[in-house]
């Protein structure tokens, strides 16, 4: 029998302590420590693992010059959005964590992608659903695949015995919070269980060169459930998000060791699964027949993909003593900063107005190049004058009221031109070395907020 040991874990960040603490020294949260019973495994755990992987203990130090540098092998899926978000396909031996709200479509997306991989032996491990439930979903997707195998099990050692028989080329686990390692005596979903189960699959992925997808839960405040170490252990962290009231879903990269960590994939939820949206700009811009005040189009970037999105603003007289500042999909502090710039540099009295900002389509945008469009929408609603339909904006606004340059301006201009816009307003500092002659769209270069107001109104 191995020794039994009790430890306390922070349920927020996973910090381990020998005794209970009121405040976590790592994340500084109060009353987050919970007691868990741990059974420290003996050497039997290691020998079982080595027998499974068929690897010896012949570890040796090697010079960096002796390591051969070759391009990592990737499995290309039928899903172009997932390929781009992962940096060009699934890297063999990588471990990927996907988190999202319940019911957002994580299981549907990865079941669909796995069924479309006709030449790859895939094992789908479900700890949450029965075989019948998964079969019903697969029937709805109308995809058949003879190399797709199911396993409904939560014990990690039983899973590894099945993997040993099947030898899959891709493993999908739904979800990591339901798995239970026999080497840890605590309930599934606890900090130590998640950490141990993830560590076992990480070793499996690296030693057998098999890619593993871990589908995970999120907490009520939107962060990934389980200890923070879970995100450090994996190679890639993806967040699957979207508003349930909209049909569109966004697959966002939070961390990627094999590609850009600012990529974005957009899907539409249909009755037959997830449909890839190859040109998201068209769905993010409302098709308007008449001109409306308070609407401006921003040319933004998500990773290497240019997007044109609609910014809506509403400025009304404040009824209560304190004016409201309400926003959806935009940073509230950034909005207050832009309002202060308009008050100080333009002389507009937003201090007595209620201000509402909305990014259409349920997107959350962090690119500072959206500033100019937000400012234009605010001024349009303030003056109650509609902006021209075929104009868009790309620029950051500084505290002194200057319009600052943004990166990848040529890609933004090309995307605006492709969607039929006639004018794009950019910073005059962006026009150095910019070949305006190769674009048929008119590029308007401005340097100050005051110049923007004069140009528009």
Taking a C-beta distance cutoff of 8 angstroms, is the pair 243, 362 a contact?
A: yes
- What are the backbone dihedrals phi and psi of residue 97, each rounded to the nearest 5 degrees, phi first? -105, 130
Q: Tell me the helix, strand and coil percentages in the chain, rounded to 5.
A: 30, 30, 40
Which residues on neighbouring strands pair with residue 433, listed in sequence order?
none
Angle, helices 371-383/449-456, rounded to nearest 10 degrees = 50
Taking a C-beta distance cutoff of 8 angstroms, is the pair 177, 216 a contact?
A: yes
Q: Residue 73, Cβ neighbours under 10 Å: how many?
A: 12
Q: Where are the beta strands (DSSP E) in 190-342?
A: 212-216, 236-241, 248-256, 264-270, 273-276, 295-302, 305-317, 325-328
Q: Give the C-alpha separation, 178 to 158, whole Å.
A: 14
Q: Give the C-alpha separation, 384 to 377, whole Å.
A: 10
Which residues are part of a known binding site for ATP? 100-107
Q: What count of Cα atoms within 13 Å lies in the side-chain half-sphere of residue 114?
A: 29
Taking a C-beta distance cutoff of 8 angstroms, is the pair 308, 298 a contact?
A: yes
Burial 294-332 (b: 16+ CB within 10 A, else e): bbbbbbbbbbebbbbbbbbbbbeeeeeeebebebebbee
Q: Give the C-alpha separation, 352 to 446, whole Å.
A: 29
Q: Give the C-alpha separation, 171 to 212, whole Å.
A: 5
Which residues are part of a known binding site? 100-107
Burial degree of 168 (CB within 10 A; 0-12, 13-18, 19+): buried
Q: Give the C-alpha separation, 395 to 403, whole Å.
A: 6
Query: What DSSP assignment string belongs to 143-183?
Result: ---TTEEEE---BHHHHHHHHHHH--SEEEEE-GGG-B-TT
First to last CA, the chain: 81
Q: Give the C-alpha separation, 426 to 56, whole Å.
A: 60
């Amino acid at each position: 029998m191995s020794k039994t040991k009790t430890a306390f874990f922070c349920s927020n960040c996973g910090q381990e302590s020998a005794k209970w603490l009121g405040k976590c020294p790592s994340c500084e949260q109060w009353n987050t420590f919970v007691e868990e019973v741990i059974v420290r495994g003996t050497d039997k755990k290691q020998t079982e693992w080595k027998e499974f992987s068929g690897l010896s203990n012949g570890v040796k130090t090697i010079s960096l010059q002796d390591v051969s540098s070759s391009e990592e092998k990737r499995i290309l899926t039928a899903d172009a959005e997932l390929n781009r978000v992962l940096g060009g396909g699934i890297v063999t031996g990588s471990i990927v964590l996907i988190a999202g709200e319940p019911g957002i479509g994580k299981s549907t997306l990865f079941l669909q992608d796995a069924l479309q991989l006709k030449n790859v032996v895939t094992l789908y491990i479900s700890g949450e659903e029965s075989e019948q439930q998964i079969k019903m979903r697969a029937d709805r997707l109308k995809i058949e695949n003879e190399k797709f195998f199911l396993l409904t099990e939560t014990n990690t050692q039983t899973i590894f015995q099945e993997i040993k028989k099947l030898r899959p080329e891709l493993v999908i686990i739904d979800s990591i919070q339901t798995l239970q390692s026999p080497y840890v005596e605590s309930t599934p979903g606890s900090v130590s269980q998640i950490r141990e189960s993830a560590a076992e699959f990480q070793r499996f992925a690296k030693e057998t060169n098999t890619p593993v997808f871990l589908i995970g839960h999120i907490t009520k405040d939107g962060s990934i459930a389980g200890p923070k170490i879970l995100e450090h252990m994996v190679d890639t962290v993806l967040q699957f998000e979207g508003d349930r009231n909209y049909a569109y879903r966004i697959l966002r990269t939070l961390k990627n060791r094999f590609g850009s960590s600012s990529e974005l994939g957009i899907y539409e939820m249909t009755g037959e699964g997830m449909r890839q949206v190859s040109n998201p700009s068209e769905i993010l811009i409302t098709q308007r027949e008449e001109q409306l005040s308070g609407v401006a189009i921003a040319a933004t970037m998500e990773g290497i993909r240019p997007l044109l999105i609609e910014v809506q603003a509403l400025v009304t007289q404040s009824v209560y003593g304190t004016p409201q500042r309400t926003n959806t999909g935009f940073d509230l502090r950034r909005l207050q900063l832009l309002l202060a710039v308009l008050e100080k540099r333009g002389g507009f009295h937003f201090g007595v107005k209620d201000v509402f900002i909305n990014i259409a389509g349920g997107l959350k945008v962090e690119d500072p190049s959206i500033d100019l469009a937000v400012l234009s929408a605010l001024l349009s609603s303030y003056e109650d004058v509609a902006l021209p339909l075929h104009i868009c904006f790309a620029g950051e606004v500084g505290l002194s009221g200057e319009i600052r340059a943004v990166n990848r301006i040529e890609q933004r201009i090309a995307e605006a031109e492709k969607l039929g816009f006639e004018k794009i307003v950019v910073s005059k500092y962006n026009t150095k070395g910019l070949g305006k002659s190769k674009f048929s769209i008119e590029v308007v270069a401005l340097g100050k907020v005051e110049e923007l107001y004069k140009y528009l109104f």
